[in-house]
């Protein structure tokens, strides 16, 4: 069956992935492989804008690759590679920076947020992050970019940058990417307040043991208005119930929805039921991960092969770009 187009997406190598990563991105990555030619990148260069040390960069890249492969990224169907293995992206980043007004970069809400988060390290890479992201996307002739709603401004920036470049050099060398929003746009952490994140320590890693999973689930915040087991609860404001709707059988979801509202089930029991269902759902993933982890050379071969395939596309794009720019 003919593919509908090429998809590109990338993520920083943050090590072992958590439920937020899976529901917000990885699950979608896997599904897209059926209908699209997929290019998935571990963006290690982007990570340099925020990390204080690179000592764990290689291991974090390996851990992320393990999780993506275990979740269902198929290297025989998709290109999985590391950003720095394709140096053409740095060249394209430089050229795109020449058609990027400084004000557009400083006005992006994500840049302003990063300034607040790390005022002591506001580097050019942080400012130019959207330009490098644009280069990542358009270098591979990308048709579609699957993103969460928080990344939508960056994709619009990429589209504007493509238009500026093509207009400046009277070319169609670069393709204007389209956005495909993920179904789950935000996964709340176990604190019940903020987006699930390692930095906030409110996450549940996919690869931890069933016992560790249960421990983390027991820490999840439920309906804050329900102080005692005998108090009726409101599943509509409970993050545990939100997760039940994703990972638990519909019959159990319906039961919890009814019993919680009439205090027929307590929060501890509800959490333990969710933990059991989550662990059951993650069994195949964890088994595959252990298998890949036992073959590190094979995982590295997958990344190396992906890099070669990605670079073949990149070289074609850069040939067109240089010709359009009339470089000597």
Name the strands in the sheet holding 144-147, side by side, starting at the edge strand that comes first in the sequence.
79-82, 37-42, 6-11, 144-147, 178-181
User: What are the pLDDT digits (tens) for 6-38?
Assistant: 999 999 999 999 999 999 889 999 999 999 999
Q: Look up residue 17 and give its DSSP letter.
A: -
Q: What is the pLDDT of residues 114-126, one digit of tens each?
A: 888 888 888 888 8
Cβ proximity of 60 and 15 under 8 Å: yes
Tokens 């990338």 identify what position? 10
Q: Which fold has domain 210-289?
A: Tyrosyl-Transfer RNA Synthetase (1.10.240)
> CA Rg, the chain, in Å?
22
Cα(142)–Cα(176) distance, rounded to whole angstroms? 8
Q: Which CATH number fits domain 6-187+295-325: 1.20.1440.230, 3.40.50.300, 3.40.50.970, 3.40.50.620?
A: 3.40.50.620
Residue 179 or residue 241, greater confidence: 241
Q: Where exactly are the structural domains of the chain?
A: 6-187+295-325, 210-289
Please tell me whether residue 143 adopts helix, strand or coil conformation: coil
**57 HSE (CA, 13 A, CB side):** 18
Dump pLDDT digits (tens) for 264-303: 999 999 999 999 999 999 999 999 999 999 999 999 999 9
pLDDT digits (tens, 9 = 90+) for 76-110: 999 999 999 999 999 999 999 999 999 888 888 77
* Separation CA 228–CA 214 (nearest Å): 21
Query: Quick count: other Cβ atoms within 10 Å of Cβ 314?
Result: 21
Residue with tokens 């260069």: 45
Alpha-carbon distance of 99 to 166, in angstroms, equals 10
Q: Is 34 helix (H, G, I), strand (E, B) or coil?
A: coil
Residue pair 207/16 in contact (Cβ under 8 Å)? The answer is yes
Whole-model pTM: value is 0.92
Please give the pLDDT value at position 185.
Answer: 58
């Amino acid at each position: 069956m003919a593919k509908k187009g090429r998809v590109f997406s990338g993520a920083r190598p943050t090590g072992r992935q958590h439920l937020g990563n899976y529901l917000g991105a990885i699950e979608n990555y896997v599904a897209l492989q059926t209908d699209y030619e997929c290019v998935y990148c571990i963006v290690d260069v982007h990570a340099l804008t925020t990390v204080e040390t690179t000592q764990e960069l290689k291991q974090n890249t390996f851990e992320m690759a393990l999780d993506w492969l275990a979740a269902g990224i198929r290297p025989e169907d998709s290109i999985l590679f590391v950003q720095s293995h394709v140096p053409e992206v740095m060249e394209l980043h430089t050229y795109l920076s020449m058609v990027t007004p400084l004000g557009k970069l400083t006005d992006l809400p994500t840049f302003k947020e990063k300034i607040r988060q790390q005022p002591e390290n506001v580097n050019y890479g942080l400012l130019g992050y959207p330009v490098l992201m644009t280069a990542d996307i358009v270098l591979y002739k990308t048709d579609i970019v699957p993103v969460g709603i928080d990344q939508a401004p960056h994709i619009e920036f990429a589209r504007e940058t493509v238009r500026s470049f093509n207009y400046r050099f009277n070319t169609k060398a670069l393709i204007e990417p389209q956005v495909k929003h993920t179904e789950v746009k935000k996964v709340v952490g176990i604190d019940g307040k903020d987006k699930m994140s390692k930095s906030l320590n409110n996450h549940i890693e996919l690869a931890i043991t069933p016992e560790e999973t249960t421990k983390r689930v027991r820490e999840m915040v439920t309906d804050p208005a329900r102080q005692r087991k005998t108090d009726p609860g409101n599943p509509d404001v409970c993050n545990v119930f939100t997760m039940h709707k994703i990972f638990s059988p519909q019959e159990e979801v319906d039961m919890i929805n009814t019993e919680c509202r009439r205090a027929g089930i307590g929060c501890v029991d509800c959490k333990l039921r969710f933990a059991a269902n989550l662990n059951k759902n993650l069994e195949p993933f964890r088994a595959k991960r252990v298998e890949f982890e036992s073959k590190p050379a094979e995982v590295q071969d997958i990344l190396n092969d992906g890099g070669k395939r990605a670079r073949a596309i990149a070289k074609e794009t850069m040939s067109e770009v240089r010709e359009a720019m009339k470089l000597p």
